[in-house]
Amino acid sequence: MLEERLSRITQVVTDPAVMAGYCTDFTGRWRGRAPLVALPSSTAEVAEVIRVCAGEGVPVVPQGGNTGLVGGGVPVGGEVVLSLRRLTALGPVDSSAQQVTAGAGVVLAALQRHVRAAGLDFGVDFAARDGATVGGMIATNAGGERVLRYGTTRANVVGVEAVLADGSVVSRLGGLPKDNTGFELPFTASEGTLGVITAARLRLVPLLEHRATALLGLPGVPAALAALAVLRTLDSLEMAEFFLPAGLRLVREHTGLPAPTRTEHAVYLLVECAAPRDPAPELHALLETLDVPEIVVAADTADRHRLWRYREAHTEAINTRGVPVKLDVALPLGELPSFLEELPALAGDAELYLFGHLAEGNLHVNLVGGRDATEPVLRRVARAGGSISAEHGVGRAKTPWLHLSRSPAELAALRAVKHALDPAGLLNPGVLVP
């Protein structure tokens, strides 16, 4: 019996009350059921679990912090959940190489604390930092709020260790920045379909302790893009996030925060600079040259965190309105104004909440209630040369529309790689390349 065999290898959970947390996603949109949750504490245990499941023909859903938003980590087809949460080893920070090795289950906030204590930082950061894990971040190529400066997770990973579908282990944790002994196995953005990531060698960046943050109230998206173009001349610019009045109202109801500005504006742009020396003088001087109706500058760290809360609390505030359809799209910046003008008509009778990462043209289109407008919105994105999934991944949610962003030749190549590494379809069936 599967449970008995796995119990001999590792920790296994079968209590439905405990399993519920592993079988439902954060939004409540994706729910599944699993025969059991396996919680290995080492790569060797992961490999054993995979071998047993492969032998019994039982498919597996690898899961990190379960903060995903596209159903990529939920056992919708009754799979075994393979939780990597117990792989929490964190190696010593190598200050000369600016690298660290982290287990797949290390939570982003724990990684940040660890490397910041050594005067370094991790280049990727986002609102779900207290739950998202290193393995999940690599499996989804997480983006977030600092892509402008440091790129997506892909750019911040030197090497990965993973267990393949046959139980063999591939490990590239040596940390050599130069190593052209063949191509990388494509675990980044593979969403658990090609192997189970168990650890990673991560690239670190200098810890920039001096920060300056400002919230700009603007009359529209073209004005926000114009301001961004000027702000980008600052080397210290690290983040440029936007939100709209409808989302801000929800956030204020949810958090009890006061209005951030004297009057309401059509678009809010939250920017942050970080540098080895205080970047406030250069940011403030540049802001004075802009023709912006209202600018609020953070006075201290608590004030910075308050301004960030207006942006970062959007996800939880939107959840209070119901189960959202989350469309995470990216468009060329020049296409944003016309797309945003058309969006309310495309959304139909659904409540529309919009926020995101302006510098990458990455919009989080959240639709609550009404008729599902996924199809028209994603088709419009594709017509504009955009991506139907900028940072959340494809998961189960976007598979029917993947062809809008990927050509038939690309889809065939993705399937060929999947088939070569997982011929029996053991790993995360139904996700990314069904």
Instruction: List residues near ligand MLT by CB under 6 A.
Output: 126-127, 315, 328, 364
How far, in whole angstroms, is CA 270 from its chain's centroid?
19
Nearest distance, CB of residue 328 and ligand MLT, angstroms: 6
Q: Are 374 and 327 in contact (CB under 8 A)?
A: yes
CB of 325 to ligand MLT, least distance (A): 12
Residue whose CB is less far from ligand MLT, 48 or 391: 391
Nearest distance, CB of residue 331 and ligand MLT, angstroms = 16
C-beta of 324: minimal distance to ligand MLT in Å?
Answer: 8
Residue (191 or 328) nearer to ligand MLT, CB: 328
User: Residue 235 and residue 410: Cα distance in Å, rounded?
Assistant: 36
Cα angle value 358/359/361 (rounded, 5°): 60
Query: Which is closer to ligand MLT, CB of 30 or CB of 126?
Result: 126
Residues forming a β-bridge with 162: 170, 197
Q: State the nearest-atom distance from the C-beta of 315 to ligand MLT, in Å.
A: 4
Q: How far from chain centre, in Å, is Cα 277?
A: 29
Indicate the SS3 state at residue 368: strand
Cβ nearer to ligand MLT, comparing 211 with 364: 364
- Closer to ligand MLT by Cβ: residue 177 or 245: 245
CB of 106 to ligand MLT, least distance (A): 20
Secondary structure of 244-266 in HEC code, one letter for each residue? CHHHHHHHHHHHCCCCCCCCCCC
Token pair of 40 as six digits: 């290995």
Nearer to ligand MLT, 394 or 414 (CB): 394
Residues 6+ apart with CB under 8 A from 82: 38, 40, 46, 49, 50, 53, 60, 61, 62, 63, 196
Q: Tokens in use for 76? A: 């919708």
Taking alpha carbons only, the member of 401, 312, 402, 292 closest to residue 356 is: 312
Measured from the CB atom, the residue of 106 and 239 that comes closer to ligand MLT is 239
Pick between residue 7 and residue 112 the one whose CB is nearest to ligand MLT. Answer: 112
Q: How far is the CB of 359 from ligand MLT (least distance, A)?
A: 13
Q: State the nearest-atom distance from the C-beta of 127 to ligand MLT, in Å.
A: 4
Please give the sequence-ordered ranges of beta strands (E in DSSP) within 235-361, or none if there are none.
237-243, 267-275, 294-297, 325-330, 351-357
